[in-house]
Amino acid sequence: MVQKKSSKFSRRSFMKTGLAGALSTVLPSSHVFAKNNNIDSFVAPVGFSDTNWRKVKSQFILKRGVTYMNNASLGMPPAVVVNAVRDGYRSISQEPLHGKHDLQEKISKNVIPGLANMFGASSDEIVLTRNASEALNLQAMGIKLNPGDEVVITTQEHPAGSRPWMYREKHDGVIVKKVFIPSPLISKTDVVDRLSNAISSKTKALSFCHVTRGGHVYPVKEITSMARSKNILSLVDGAQAVGQFPIDLHELGCDAYAVSLHKWILAPSGTGFLYVRKDARDHLKSVFSIESTSANPGFGPPGTKDFPVRAAILTALDFVNTIGQENIEKRCRYLSNYLKKGLSQVKGVRILSGANDDISAPGSTIFEKDGLDAMESVPLIEKKIMTHIDEHQRDDHNAIRISTHIYNTTKQIDRLLNAL
């Protein structure tokens, strides 16, 4: 009989010994970053310079020589998260039934309450999904709409946020009204006014981003307050927001919120959740359960889940909490401000990200340059300086998106600027 090998890494040991201690117990000696195992302690960095964040950067296992500045597409989990996933698969491989039970218990008793605590919600308002796209589909398909009912969205929605509404328009006769939002944003008030002016007596819901693909921050609290005053549901795409700055879902006042955890929160790929406010359950129903009630909404997709991946969300939350969400926001803002200052000195560049912090996210920066084709430039820059970035083609803009996170450095930004 195969003996179950217990993992040396647990949430308790993480919080007790710190991240460095956890790393020293889980990373094999042959690991490419094993040289960093001699870190005496891991605490929140003081200050925001590259030197202060060197130990944090060392926790990531990116291939040497490669620079990753496309976090808004897919985040780069730290080594402890990678190892947590590995340990989870080992547990269900060694003892499938017991391993599965242990992981399920960890998810229900630790992961979901951990998410609720971090994002200002109740545990029974959160259901895990594979990503924000799945959660956005659950939002759009779960709301009861009749032919002729209107839904207002913006021109800056991700396809995952707009396509479900296009489906409902085609198959259910719903009218989808797109509101143009310029880049950069003019002001928070301008965003609210544009959405408010599009509302009619037939409007049933507003569907919009908290942070757009290009890093524009929408005034969610003001929008949801306006929507509530008109008896309209507010459905939010939070894929690009979660992890860039602290979020309190109850405080935002939205009816539903879709999340990707594998971007800025640095959880494993294929993780996210849907938040549905308790008071909104009468308006937003499960598309899976015919027995769903307000007390037992049954929003979760059926079938076997990727338990090792979902259980490892807890490790990502511990990692982020150890550093501090406010510290992460300030470090990301430090890097994006450095990038914007450098871009402003490059001839022919137009920065499309907002100049003010209240309308521009800490991590993502978009810009255009005269004579520079974004689609052609992205692979050329990767080939030239081994740096991963992304294009941003929205509203007739031929732009490039740079999304920096805590593992990036000003030296990497300088190298990118020199390559433009």
Q: Which of 102, 401, 142 is nearest to 286 (CA)?
A: 142
Note whether 380 and 235 are same-domain residues. Answer: no
Note whether 92 and 123 are same-domain residues. Answer: no
Question: What are 367-416's pLDDT values in tens digits?
Answer: 999 999 999 999 999 999 999 999 998 778 999 999 999 999 999 999 99
Domain interval for residue 22: 11-106+317-323
What confidence score (pLDDT) does residue 41 get? 52
Q: Is residue 2 part of a domain?
A: no
Indicate the residue among 255, 276, 306 that finishes a domain: 306
Q: Which residues contact 406 (CB under 8 A, 6 or more apart)?
A: 53, 56, 57, 323, 328, 331, 332
Note whether 133 and 252 are same-domain residues. Answer: yes
Note whether 44 and 151 are same-domain residues. Answer: no
Question: What are 342-381's pLDDT values in tens digits?
Answer: 999 999 999 999 888 999 999 999 999 999 999 999 999 9
Note whether 297 and 342 are same-domain residues. Answer: no
Note whether 196 and 49 are same-domain residues. Answer: no
Note whether 145 and 27 are same-domain residues. Answer: no
Note whether 150 and 296 are same-domain residues. Answer: yes
Which amino acid is residue 347, in one-letter code?
K
Note whether 93 and 230 are same-domain residues. Answer: no
Note whether 267 and 293 are same-domain residues. Answer: yes
Which amino acid is residue 91, in one-letter code?
S
Note whether 159 and 262 are same-domain residues. Answer: yes
Cα torsion angle, 334, 336, 342, 344, sign: negative
Note whether 331 and 278 are same-domain residues. Answer: no
Q: Are 35 and 388 in contact (CB under 8 A)?
A: no
What confidence score (pLDDT) does residue 247 get? 98
Q: Is residue 221 part of a domain?
A: yes
What confidence score (pLDDT) does residue 293 get? 62
What confidence score (pLDDT) does residue 295 get? 64
How many domains are there within the chain? Answer: 3
Q: Which residues of the chain have pLDDT under 70?
A: 1-42, 289, 291-295
Q: Which of 79, 86, 89, 84 is nearest to 31 (CA)?
A: 79
